[in-house]
Amino acid sequence: MRRKGMQEGTKEIIFHILRRESANSPSYWQKVPYLCRDESETVAFALEKINQDPDYLDLNGKKVGKIR
């Protein structure tokens, strides 16, 4: 599955960010996948999401997700 505007041969990276499911269940975290064009876009996107949504974890300065 390709996003509109992606170039041929672009490596797709799925980045998982832990997100709190709801304020009422702080012990439950959901892995949210995001598709990015490259690693630099992935990291920038994750940091942007953390800044916009306090429910996204920065894990005390550690990696916010996992590239696989």
pLDDT of residue 68: 36
In the chain, where do the E strands start and end?
Answer: 13-20, 29-36, 65-67
pLDDT tens for each residue of 48-67:
665 665 444 444 444 455 43
Judging by DSSP bridges, how do beta strands 65-67 and 13-20 pair with one another?
antiparallel
The whole model's pTM is what?
0.24
pLDDT of residue 23: 55
Question: SS3 helix, strand, coil % of the chain, rounded to 5?
Answer: 25, 30, 45
pLDDT tens for each residue of 3-51:
454 445 555 555 555 555 555 555 555 555 555 555 566 666 666 665 6
Total Cβ atoms within 10 A of residue 67? 12
Q: Where are the alpha helices (DSSP H) in the chain?
A: 39-52
